[in-house]
Amino acid sequence: MDANSTTYWQDIQILKQLKNSVDTHSVTSGSCIYSWDFTLDPCDYLFKDKFTCGFRCDVVVDGFSRLTELALDSAGYSGSLSNVSWNLPYLQNFDVSNNFFNGSCSGIFFPVNSVAETRAVQ
């Protein structure tokens, strides 16, 4: 990855953990997670041919882009969410509905002053 990455390193690690937690057999060509290529900076390449969807980076803190939304497509992903650290202090929306995840998302918290929305994990 480029030394001039704008995505905060810990947010990148969480996205990597999430991708690695998804059963590869449930990731289809054209799905959000299929497009995630960590040789590139996630927030810099968001909504392009890499990182086509699945999250947003709307807050910049100390020069780094931070994840504010994690909203996966309804691609039928499966896997465990328990192995992801979930330390995303700027997260305002978390939606993995219409997928087949298991495990807990302990550690996800929303700042007191944010208007947060969480969609149920099925």
Q: Give the CA distances from residue 69 to residues 3, 29, 59, 93, 96, in Å, rounded to whole numbers and listed in that order.
A: 24, 22, 10, 5, 11
In a domain, 76, yes or no: yes
User: What's the whole-number mean pLDDT along residues 74-98?
Assistant: 93
Q: Which domain holds residue 112?
A: 9-118
pTM: 0.85
Structural domain count of the chain: 1
In a domain, 4, yes or no: no
In a domain, 1, yes or no: no
In which element (H, E) is residue 50 found? none
Over the stretch 9-61, which tens digit does the pLDDT of each residue have? 999 999 999 999 999 999 999 999 999 999 999 999 999 999 999 999 998 99
CB 33 within 8 A of CB 71: no
* Rg, C-alpha atoms of the chain: 14
Cα separation, 104 vs 41, in Å, equals 27
Query: Does pLDDT of 118 surpass 60?
Result: no
User: How many CB atoms lie under 10 A from the CB of residue 65?
Assistant: 22
Cα separation, 91 vs 70, in Å, equals 8
**Count of all residues that appear for the chain in the document:** 122
In a domain, 3, yes or no: no
